[in-house]
Amino acid sequence: MLDTGDDLFTREDPIFANKELLEISHLPGEGRIVGRDDEISQLANAVNPAIFGQSPSNVLIYGKTGTGKSLCAKYVSNRLVETAAGEGVDAAFAYVDCAQDTTETQAVQTIAEAVNDPDDTDIRVPDKGLSTSTYYKRLWRILDVRFDVVLILLDEIDKLDDDDILMQLSRAGEAGKIDRCKLGVIGISNKIQYKDRMDERVKSSLCEREFVFPPYDANQLRDIMEARGDAFREDVLDPSTIPRAAALAAREHGDARKAIDILRYAGEIAQSKGVPTVKEEFVTQARERAETDRFRELIRGSTPHSRYVLQALALLSLSKQRQDGFRTSRVYEIYENICRQEGSDSLSLRRVRDLLKEHAFLDIIEQSKHSGGSAEGSYTKHRLLEDPEVVKEVLTEDIDG
C-alpha cells in the first residue's frame, strides 16, 4: 500500500533550475547575446530606415553553423518592430525556415499567415489549397492593409527550390504589387557559394548588404555558456565544466549551438547517474552526443547527392585510415557506385567537386591541395573531419524520418 509520503517521484529536479535556457528553441534576451555587438549594430543599421516607415536594405547573412545568425536576425527584427511602434510606424516581421518551406507556395503561405490577422483584414490564409498566385495576392493585400513596413527573414535560404519568391519579394514595390507597405528581406545561409547560384537580377536587389558571422573563440563560447549558467541549480556545476566545454567546442568549430548542447547533455548525464554535480569528465561523453546531433542538423534537408558524396568519403575513411584524405577521382568512383546502388544517375565530376566544397565550408570535410610533380599536375584531397561512424549512422537513418 502506498502512503502519501512515498518518494517514488522526485519533486524537484536536482540538476536543472531552468533547463529551458539550454533548449535549442530558446531565444535569449538582451544581455545573454554575447560577442555579437558589431554584427547586431551593423544589421540594425541596414534595416534602420524601417523605423521611419522607409525601405530597409535587403541583407544577406553568411556564416558557419552556430555562429548566431538566426539569433541575431530575430533579435534585431524584434527590436525593430518595438522601436517602430514607438514611432507610430506599423511594422512586423515574418520568419520563414526555408528548410521546412522549400517551395515558393509554402513560403508565401507562411509569410501571409504570419502577418495576417483575419479579424483585422477579413482575409483567410488556409494552410493549403490555394494557387501560388492567390497566396501572393492575399499577401500583398494583407501587407497594405496592416503595415507600413515588414521584414521577411528567409532563414536557410539556400534550401529554397528556386529564386522565384526572392524575385517577387524584392520587386513587389516597384512592380506596384504593394503600395503602402515597404518590404525588406533578410536572407540567411551557411553556404558561402549560395550567392553564385542566384539569378543576377535577384542578386543585385537582394544583396544590398552582406555580413559574414565568424565562428566564436573559446572565450566567447565560455561567456555564452556562463550567461546561461542559471539553467542549473546553484553549486551544481563543477567550475571547470564550462571552460572545458568551451575549449573543446572552440577547437572544433566555434559553434555556439554545440557548446550549449554539450552543457545540456552534461547535465543530463549527471541526472541519469544520480550524482549531484555536473563534473568536467561528463563533457567528453556529452561532446560525442552533441557531435552526432550537430551533424544530423548540418545535413538536414541536403540533397540526396550531397549525402552520397559524404557517404562515399565515409566509406573510404572506414576502409582505410588515411591521414591526408582521398583524391577527388577516388571519391567520385565510390560516389558513382552509391548512385548505381540507389538507382540514381550520377552528377558530373564538376558538380561533385562543388558539393565537396560546400561540405568543406561547413567543416564536415577538409580539403588540401597537393602537387604530384610535372607528370601528375596538382590535385585535391578530401578528408572527413567528422567521425566516419557518425556520418554513416546519420546518413543511413531514414531521410524523411
Ligand X SMILES: Nc1ncnc2c1ncn2[C@@H]1O[C@H](COP(=O)(O)OP(=O)(O)OP(=O)(O)O)[C@@H](O)[C@H]1O
Q: Which stretch binds Mg ion (CB under 5 A): 66-74, 196-204, 233-241, 339-347?
A: 66-74
Q: For the chain, how long is the longest CA-to-CA vector?
A: 86
Which residue in 260, 190, 261, 262 sits closest to 220, CA to CA? 260
- Among ligand X, Mg ion, none, residue 260 binds (CB under 5-8 Å by kind): ligand X
Residue 229 interacting with ligand X (CB under 6 A)? no
Q: Which stretch binds ligand X (CB under 6 A): 124-132, 175-183, 253-261, 309-317?
A: 253-261
Count of residues that interact with ligand X, criterion CB under 6 A: 20
- Among Mg ion, ligand X, none, residue 66 binds (CB under 5-8 Å by kind): ligand X
Task: Return the residue of 17, 19, 28, 167 that touches ligand X, per CB under 6 A.
Answer: 28
Residue 36 interacting with ligand X (CB under 6 A)? yes
- Among ligand X, Mg ion, none, residue 202 binds (CB under 5-8 Å by kind): none
Q: How far is the CB of 188 from Mg ion (least distance, A)?
A: 6
Residue 70 interacting with Mg ion (CB under 5 A)? yes
Count of residues that interact with Mg ion, criterion CB under 5 A: 1
Decide whether 34 or 172 has the Cβ nearer to ligand X. 34
Residue 187 interacting with ligand X (CB under 6 A)? no
The secondary structure of residue 237, as a DSSP letter, is B
The annotation status of 71 as a binding-site residue, yes or no, is yes
Contact 154, 186 (CB under 8 A): yes
Helix (H), strand (E) at residue 18 = none
The annotation status of 320 as a binding-site residue, yes or no, is no
Task: Label the pairing between strands 326-327 and 378-384.
Answer: antiparallel
Question: Residue 332 burial by CB count (10 A; 0-12/13-18/19+): exposed, middle or buried?
Answer: buried
Which residue in 93, 114, 111, 103 sits closest to 163, CA to CA? 103
Residue nearest to ligand X (CB): 68
Q: Which stretch binds ligand X (CB under 6 A): 69-77, 311-319, 331-339, 348-356?
A: 69-77
- What is the number of helices (H) and of strands (E) in the chain? 16, 8
Give the CA dihedral 70, 71, 75, 78, nearest 10 degrees. Answer: 50
Cell numbers for 123: 482575409
Task: Label the pairing between strands 378-384 and 365-371.
Answer: antiparallel
Q: Give helix 328-342 / helix 349-361 axis angle, nearest 10°.
A: 110
Binding site residue list: 67-71, 216, 228
Q: Which residue positions form the known binding site for ATP?
A: 67-71, 216, 228
* Residues near ligand X (CB under 6 A): 24, 28, 32-36, 63, 65-71, 190, 224, 256-257, 260
Chain residues that interact with Mg ion, rule: CB under 5 A: 70
